[in-house]
Chains A and B, each alone.
Chain A
Amino acid sequence: MSRAGERLINGLVKENPTFVLMLGMCPTLAVTTSAVNGLGMGLTTMAVLALSNLFISLLRKIIPNRVRIPAFIVIIASFVTAVQLLLEGYLPSLNKSLGVYIPLIVVNCIILGRAESYAYSNPPLPSLFDGIGMGLGFTVALTCIGAVREILGAGEIFGRAFLPDSFEPIRIFGQAPGAFFVLASLVALQNYVKNRLQREGKPYEKIGSGCTEDCMNCAETGCKKRFYDNSGTAETGARKSGKRPAVPGPDKEGR
């Protein structure tokens, strides 16, 4: 059970999808106009993430390696459809304010990323908690960004007046540029704390297992977590076509 707890902390802090991994930027920037929207988007994504992680992990021995991405997408899309129907039925106002970003959860890179890098090679229970942890991290991040933007851009928080009426809302924070400003400030704050901890001799490891997940610069070829294999295929392919071996980029499956 300690592994489940480690996964939760990992998703919330060490490998926070928004502030550390910088994944899922599209919903992060687009829907965080208010704290409620951020919270709603985060929780919706978390539900899909946890369930898809669980089912992909359960099916990992059946899904053939070659068609794994389409299989993942089918599983994720089924859950997104279910969640969207539930939202339409029970929380129509949230569904309306999130709009097209609910169906777009299908292509959210956090979900596909966790499926590929964790759920496909780990047992169901840790995968479930990995999904919950990542989802919580995403939720916390989106709610924080949404709250700051709502306070500065409208003087409210969760729809209630927060600042006195004499405060003139800085409207840019309710618009797209404001999302970038707030995200950048929060990431900077996070990095500041991280650097402080490092300087005080408390090493802040990105990931508990010691893996940096920086597969591009990793020498360990037999690693199961590897996103792609840059030792064999990439070079032979380049040699055949007679070009200089390019820097190994993202693999061909669109990751």
Chain B
Amino acid sequence: MSGLFKVSSNPHIRSKMTTDMIMMTVVVALLPAAGFGIYNFGPRALLVILVTVISTVMTELLYWLFMRYLCGQKQRELTVADLSAVVTGLLLALNLPVTIPLWMAALGGVFAILVVKMLFGGLGQNFMNPALAARCFLLISFPVQMTNFVCDAYTGATPLTALKAGEQVNVMDMVLGHTGGTIGETSVIAIVIGACILILAGIIDLRIPGSYLVTFALFVCIFGGRGFDLNYITAQLSGGGLMLGAFFMATDYVTRPITIRGQYVYGVILGLLTGIFRIFGPGAEGVSYAIILGNLLVPLIEKYTRPTAFGYRRGGARHEK
């Protein structure tokens, strides 16, 4: 059992799901996308993945050593073994272009763990998704390298950029994943296989991804300028990091709302934000900014969607006799 648990008085619900188990399942679910990325972009993709994973794990380890031996926190537990750093590293790598210089990938890993996760209190305390925050950090810091999707395999613009420019794209290629883009985002099929693993294992459900994707599709339908063009909507849905973001990053336990109504609200907000960024924004992609902005709204969403406890009126007042 993870040392982060605080055991309260009974009754307890027993579950075999531990943090390590959940993280392990997420890693397994990400393997199809990662594997396809390596197949699609060549061995350098594997190198980028290794660099970010090593960087996130090492950062967590070094932070623990620093706090324990230099800041006198003798009771501090080592949390590297719960694999959450591995998940962060893997997700970050899947969000990077294959051509990124390796030191930038490593810097992203350090930022994700050190600034976004550990400084806010470690696993369960981070206020936004570490991998996405690191991606946005890199995107703002190195705009040229982060949007350089030209590699040995692909030379043209990414499908989303082409769509934005009003060109036609091959939707079949986008679903299969034979397009340029970041390492893990290209293949819808590989991502959906991973998502099925997560859903079958009971790690995630369809509330957030479902409301996210439906809202986004509606938004594109209304404001995309092409009406109900199935080809265009499918291309928008399978292009960029939308699928990866909807299934793997918007559903992150720590940074999503815990209330059920709140999860629908959150999904709708993400869909709207992504649509606004993609269609009215200057860039072609907006999933990562949409999700980290959504993360910031989570406390507010939870506040207004809190379920009424038994014996209480709506709004928190107790029933009077």
Binding site for B on A (CB under 8 A): 168, 170-173, 175, 177, 181, 192, 199
| Additional A-B contact list (18), CB under 8 Å, known A170-B141, A199-B72 | A168-B101, A168-B104, A168-B142, A168-B145, A170-B107, A170-B142, A171-B140, A171-B141, A171-B142, A171-B143, A172-B137, A172-B140, A172-B141, A173-B141, A175-B140, A177-B140, A181-B115, A192-B71
Q: Roughly how many angstroms separate A177 CA and B292 CA in the complex, as a whole number?
A: 15
Inter-chain contact total with CB atoms closer than 8 Å = 20
> Closest approach, in angstroms, between the C-beta of A121 and any C-beta of chain B?
40
Residue from B72, B115, B141, B145 whose CB has the most chain A CB atoms within 10 Å: B141
Q: Roughly how many angstroms separate A171 CA and B138 CA in the complex, as a whole number?
A: 9
A171 to B, closest residue via Cβ: B141
Q: Roughly how many angstroms separate A177 CA and B115 CA in the complex, as a whole number?
A: 12
Which residues of chain A have C-beta atoms less than 8 A from B143's C-beta?
171
> Closest approach, in angstroms, between the C-beta of B70 and any C-beta of chain A?
9
Binding site for A on B (CB under 8 A): 71-72, 101, 104, 107, 115, 137, 140-143, 145
Q: List 20 A-B contacts (CB under 8 A).
A: A168-B101, A168-B104, A168-B142, A168-B145, A170-B107, A170-B141, A170-B142, A171-B140, A171-B141, A171-B142, A171-B143, A172-B137, A172-B140, A172-B141, A173-B141, A175-B140, A177-B140, A181-B115, A192-B71, A199-B72
> Closest approach, in angstroms, between the C-beta of B118 and any C-beta of chain A?
12
Which residues of chain B have C-beta atoms less than 8 A from A168's C-beta?
101, 104, 142, 145
Q: Roughly how many angstroms separate A172 CA and B145 CA in the complex, as a whole number?
A: 14
Q: Roughly how many angstroms separate A172 CA and B72 CA in the complex, as a whole number?
A: 33
SS of A interface (majority) = helix
Q: Roughly how many angstroms separate A136 CA and B40 CA in the complex, as a whole number?
A: 58
Q: Roughly how many angstroms separate A192 CA and B67 CA in the complex, as a whole number?
A: 11
A168 to B, closest residue via Cβ: B142
> Closest approach, in angstroms, between the C-beta of B207 and any C-beta of chain A?
31
Which residues of chain A have C-beta atoms less than 8 A from B71's C-beta?
192
> Closest approach, in angstroms, between the C-beta of A175 and any C-beta of chain B?
7
Q: Roughly how many angstroms separate A199 CA and B137 CA in the complex, as a whole number?
A: 36
> Closest approach, in angstroms, between the C-beta of B74 and any C-beta of chain A?
13
> Closest approach, in angstroms, between the C-beta of A83 and any C-beta of chain B?
34
Q: Roughly how many angstroms separate A168 CA and B143 CA in the complex, as a whole number?
A: 11
Which residues of chain A have C-beta atoms less than 8 A from B137's C-beta?
172
Which residues of chain B have C-beta atoms less than 8 A from A171's C-beta?
140-143
Q: Roughly how many angstroms separate A181 CA and B143 CA in the complex, as a whole number?
A: 19
> Closest approach, in angstroms, between the C-beta of B94 and any C-beta of chain A?
21
Which residues of chain A have C-beta atoms less than 8 A from B142's C-beta?
168, 170-171
Which residues of chain B have C-beta atoms less than 8 A from A175's C-beta?
140
A188 to B, closest residue via Cβ: B119
Which residues of chain A have C-beta atoms less than 8 A from B72's C-beta?
199
Which residues of chain B have C-beta atoms less than 8 A from A173's C-beta?
141
Q: Roughly how many angstroms separate A172 CA and B137 CA in the complex, as a whole number?
A: 7
Which residues of chain A have C-beta atoms less than 8 A from B115's C-beta?
181
> Closest approach, in angstroms, between the C-beta of A241 and any C-beta of chain B?
24
Q: Roughly how many angstroms separate A173 CA and B101 CA in the complex, as a whole number?
A: 19
Q: Roughly how many angstroms separate A177 CA and B128 CA in the complex, as a whole number?
A: 15
Q: Roughly how many angstroms separate A232 CA and B71 CA in the complex, as a whole number?
A: 44
CB-based closest 8 A-B pairs: A172-B141, A170-B141, A172-B140, A171-B141, A172-B137, A168-B142, A171-B140, A175-B140
Q: Roughly how many angstroms separate A168 CA and B142 CA in the complex, as a whole number?
A: 8
Q: Roughly how many angstroms separate A199 CA and B71 CA in the complex, as a whole number?
A: 10
A175 to B, closest residue via Cβ: B140
Q: Roughly how many angstroms separate A171 CA and B72 CA in the complex, as a whole number?
A: 35
Q: Roughly how many angstroms separate A177 CA and B72 CA in the complex, as a whole number?
A: 30
Which residues of chain A have C-beta atoms less than 8 A from B104's C-beta?
168
Q: Roughly how many angstroms separate A173 CA and B115 CA in the complex, as a whole number?
A: 14
B138 to A, closest residue via Cβ: A172
Which residues of chain A have C-beta atoms less than 8 A from B141's C-beta?
170-173
Which residues of chain B have C-beta atoms less than 8 A from A170's C-beta?
107, 141-142
Residue from A172, A173, A175, A181 whose CB has the most chain B CB atoms within 10 Å: A172
Q: Roughly how many angstroms separate A173 CA and B140 CA in the complex, as a whole number?
A: 10
Q: Roughly how many angstroms separate A170 CA and B71 CA in the complex, as a whole number?
A: 29
Q: Roughly how many angstroms separate A239 CA and B51 CA in the complex, as a whole number?
A: 64
